Amino acid sequence: MKKVLMFLLLPFMGIFASDHEINVEVAGVVPDMTQSSHFEVDYRIINELDSNFVIVNPRIRPLGNGNINIGLSLGARSDVDFGIFGFHVGCDYSYTHEAHNMQLVPSFEYMSSRWFYSFNAYLPIKNLSYGSPIGQIVKTHRYLDQEIVYKWRHANLSFSHNFDAETLKNGFVGKISKDFGDLSLAISGGQDGHHGKHVKLALVYNLPSGSSKHSHGRINRHVGTVYDCKVLPVRKSKKPVSTIEPIIIARPSNVQIKNTLKTAPPATPVAEEKHWYDFFTKGRSD
């Protein structure tokens, strides 16, 4: 009965939570892809229940130029004799290149005093494009990644493998991180679907709002879709293009010019600037 009440109270976990954890990450990337440097706010709301922890995890990652990634996951961690097991299900919303996309993210993790392992699957739900730009289309990819971390006394050493199910390409990333109290500094390099070939330097600040940051560490997954932006071919007209140059026989008079301007069609209005929230305020286009 207690467990049932816990899940019924999930919408109010911010009020009744037993612990809170907040991380702010600032990352700079030397990439092959654009829009890779970022900052992200990761907030975890935790409730304890008989050696189990129910976690609600909202995150936000602005990308600049009106683009944004937002994620929300719900999961549980179970503390056993030989470590902590966790399972989470997340939903991410992304607005990139004037396209709205959503994806489902199931995640599995294991934590012990020396080792950490995580596995994530990124499964696109639907492209909710509103007013797609002419000449290009954003295609999201099914994507998998896994990471194993060894907690050395001097630093954390990690190695991750990722797989793009659309392009059938594998990627590998290595990382070294070091904790300095509430600050963590990490440098990583390799190839993945989020940053391409890159070297990344990240600084993470753990806001001292919680008391159990070691057992309630970050849920190890990225926010935002893996995608490519394809340029659509321009249709060529089948009609032959005339090569005859027009010859001006006589210049129009001022009266003819005024009469022409009176009958000219109205000017085309300038296109409005598009934002990620247009989908919610204007609705979905046909």
d(CA 81, CA 87): 18
Is the pLDDT reported for residue 133 higher than 70?
Answer: no
Is the pLDDT reported for residue 162 higher than 50?
Answer: yes
The count of structural domains within the chain is: 1
Is 129 a domain residue? yes
Domain that holds residue 114: 2-231
Query: What's the pLDDT at 286?
Result: 45
Is 31 a domain residue? yes
The answer to whether 177 touches 159, Cβ cutoff 8 Å, is no
Q: Using pLDDT thresholds of 50, 70 and 90, give the confidence band for residue 20.
A: confident
Once rounded to an integer, what is the mean pLDDT over residues 211-222? 76
CATH label of the domain that carries residue 147:
2.40.160.160
Is the pLDDT reported for residue 285 higher than 60?
Answer: no
Is 240 a domain residue? no
Once rounded to an integer, what is the mean pLDDT over residues 255-280? 66
pLDDT tens for 65-116 read 778 899 999 999 998 888 899 999 999 999 887 788 899 999 999 998 899 9
Query: What's the pLDDT at 181?
Result: 82
